[in-house]
Amino acid sequence: MSRIVFGLIGVVVALFPDGVIESYEAIALENPEECSAKPWLAPAVRAEGVLYVLATLAGGRAYGWLLNVAGVAGLVAAVAPKQYLDAGASLAYDRPEEVNWNEGFVTGVRVLGFALVVLAARALGKRRRA
C-alpha cells in the first residue's frame, strides 16, 4: 500500500511542482507572500517526484532505499521538526530568516516524521524476514 502512495505522490509532484510548492506554502507558512523560493526549487521538486516514481516502479532495493531515506528524514523531523523545517528553508528560500512557520504545521511535521519512521521500520522488518 505504501508503495502505491509513494508512487502517486511522485506522479503529482513530478507533474505539478509549482502547484505543490504553492499548496505547501499556503499550508506551512504564516507569510507565504513574503517568501521567495530559489529558482531551482521547482526543478528539484520535480526531480524528487520522478525519483519517487522510479523507485516505486523498480521496487526491490530501489524502493527499500527510498523508504530508508524517508525513515531517516522522518526521524529528524520527529525529533526536531522546527530545526528540520528551518534547514529546508535555508536551502529553498532566498531569505530563510523571514520564513515563519504555522505552529500547527510544525506539529504536523513531527507527526508525519513519526509515521515515516514507523513505515520505514515496518518495511525493513518485512525485507529482513523475506
| pTM, entire model | 0.86
User: Residue 54: what pLDDT?
Assistant: 95
CA distance 66 to 97: 30
Angle at 56 between CA 54 and CA 60, to 5 degrees: 105
Tally of domains in the chain: 1
Which residues does residue 37 pair with via DSSP β-bridges, in sequence order? Answer: 93
Rounded CA-CA distance 30/10 in Å is 26
From CA 109, how far away is CA 88, in angstroms rounded? 12
Q: What sections of 16-102 are H helices per DSSP?
A: 17-28, 41-58, 60-79, 81-92
What is the DSSP code (8-state) at residue 95? S
Q: What is the pLDDT of residue 9?
A: 94
Intervals of the chain under pLDDT 70? 1, 130
pLDDT, residue 130, reads 66
Q: For residues 47 and 92, is the Cβ–Cβ distance under 8 A? A: no
Range of the domain at 33: 2-129
Can you read off the three cell numbers belonging to residue 4?
502505491
